Amino acid sequence: MTAPVRPLPLLGSPRTWRNGAVVLLLVLLAGVAAVLLADPAAAAPTAPTAPVAPTAPAVDGTVDISIGDGSPSSSITLILAITVLSVAPSVLLLATSFTKIIVVLGLTRNALGMATSPPNQVLTGIALFLTLFVMGPVFSDINEVAVQPYMEGAITVSQAYDSGVVPLREFLLDNTREDELALMIDLSGEEKPADATAVSMTTLIPAFVLSELKSAFIIGLVIFIPFLVLDMLVSAALMALGMMMVPPTIVSLPFKLLLFVVVDGWALITTALVGSYGGTG
């Protein structure tokens, strides 16, 4: 037989439970009363305030956003530097002596019959430093009349451009042929300027590039003629000897290099290139 289940004893009498509930209710009421008394503003909402009419702004001048009345800030200088770097390759190719120099060096390599020697990196480096040598006085003038005054805050951006373009314009005009300049003026549809200095840069730069290419091809033709004569002599000699199966270029290449070294060809080419700009640009 199983043992009878005994009921759990009550935790106190019903009277004790009623007394505890009353005490707990009193404690809660006391806490709510303390909160209300501590912050009376929380019990009653405040009345909304009337809107205030807008007032006119103070005298403008607390924030200076101009870039020409003082030394340019670092952010403006950085933006200008990035802009200059983005357009620098085009300016280097079209508005300096780089075009003529690199074309002449490329024609010289082709005249020697060597497709990859000197490599393109070497030719580009030579052309770059020769360009810096030729354009050195022009760059110095631009730095003196435009860059440094602007960095010191003495002139604005537009004034710096107007001052800096003058030395470059003089260089372009001195090395631009009249035929190419007249051609570009006619193609532009603009009225013929009274003076060459009044020609816009968008017309002057293409005319300068055409002049540079023409001069480069003339120098290249002068370089090609002795090597062409040497190729013809080697071909005739091979034909006379019955060695028609031997490529003439292979036989003539050592003679071309010998001739180029004997006459000091690099010095002659450099002299011709620099001399075409008046010696020092």
Select from 93, 68, 111 the least CA-distant residue to 256: 111
Instruction: Give residue 281's pLDDT band: very low, low, confident or very high (50, 70, 90).
Output: very low
Instruction: Give residue 233's pLDDT band: very low, low, confident or very high (50, 70, 90).
Output: confident
Task: Look at residue 88 and tell me whether its pLDDT is greater than 80.
Answer: no
Lowest mean pLDDT among 131-135, 220-224, 234-238, 267-271: 234-238
CA torsion angle for 160, 162, 165, 167 (degrees, to 10)? -90
| 166-178 pLDDT tens trace | 888 888 888 888 8
Q: Average pLDDT for residues 128-141, to the nearest whole number?
A: 89
In sequence order, which residues have a C-beta less than 8 Å from that of residue 158 and are 6 or more positions away? none
| 54-63 pLDDT tens trace | 776 655 555 5
Question: Taking the domains of the chain in order of start, what are their residue ranges?
Answer: 96-275
Task: Look at residue 263 and tell me whether its pLDDT is greater than 60.
Answer: yes
pLDDT value of residue 26: 65
Q: Average pLDDT for residues 197-210, to the nearest whole number?
A: 85
- Return the DSSP state at 152: T
Q: Give me the percent of the chain exceeding a pLDDT of 90.
A: 6
pLDDT value of residue 192: 78
Distance CA 225, CA 259 (A): 13
Distance CA 107, CA 225 (A): 12
Burial of 89 (0-12, 13-18, 19+ CB in 10 A): exposed
pLDDT value of residue 102: 92
Instruction: Give residue 210's pLDDT band: very low, low, confident or very high (50, 70, 90).
Output: very high
66 or 75, higher pLDDT: 75
Cis peptide before 118 (omega within 30 of 0): yes
Mean pLDDT (the chain, rounded): 77
Task: Look at residue 269 and tell me whether its pLDDT is greater than 80.
Answer: yes
Select from 181, 151, 160 the least CA-distant residue to 73: 151
Lowest mean pLDDT among 36-45, 48-57, 203-212: 36-45
Which segments of 104-146 are extended strands (E)?
none
